[in-house]
Amino acid sequence: MRRTNCRLSACARLVLPDGRTLTVPEAAQGPTMENPARFHAELTSLLERT
């Protein structure tokens, strides 16, 4: 399953050149629930840059 997700994010980078791929450790399908602290930190960082 991870390979499919990696291919999808690689394709997304083709149409979103300023995009960014993030893999949240210890989170499979739901990073917001499985590793909420890391997800929140990454989202906050992204929002502060934009």
Q: How far, in Å, are 3, 4, 7, 14, 48 from residue 43 at the CA level? A: 23, 23, 22, 22, 9
Given this model, what pLDDT does residue 2 score? 43
The first and second tokens of residue 6, run together, are: 């990696």
DSSP 25: T
Contacts of 21 (CB under 8 A, 6+ apart): 9, 10, 12, 13
The first and second tokens of residue 5, run together, are: 């997700």
Q: Would you list the domain boundaries of the chain?
A: 2-49
User: 4-17, pLDDT tens digit by residue?
Assistant: 456 777 788 788 87
User: 1-50, pLDDT tens digit by residue?
Assistant: 344 456 777 788 788 878 777 777 777 788 889 989 998 998 999 899 87
Given this model, what pLDDT does residue 1 score? 38
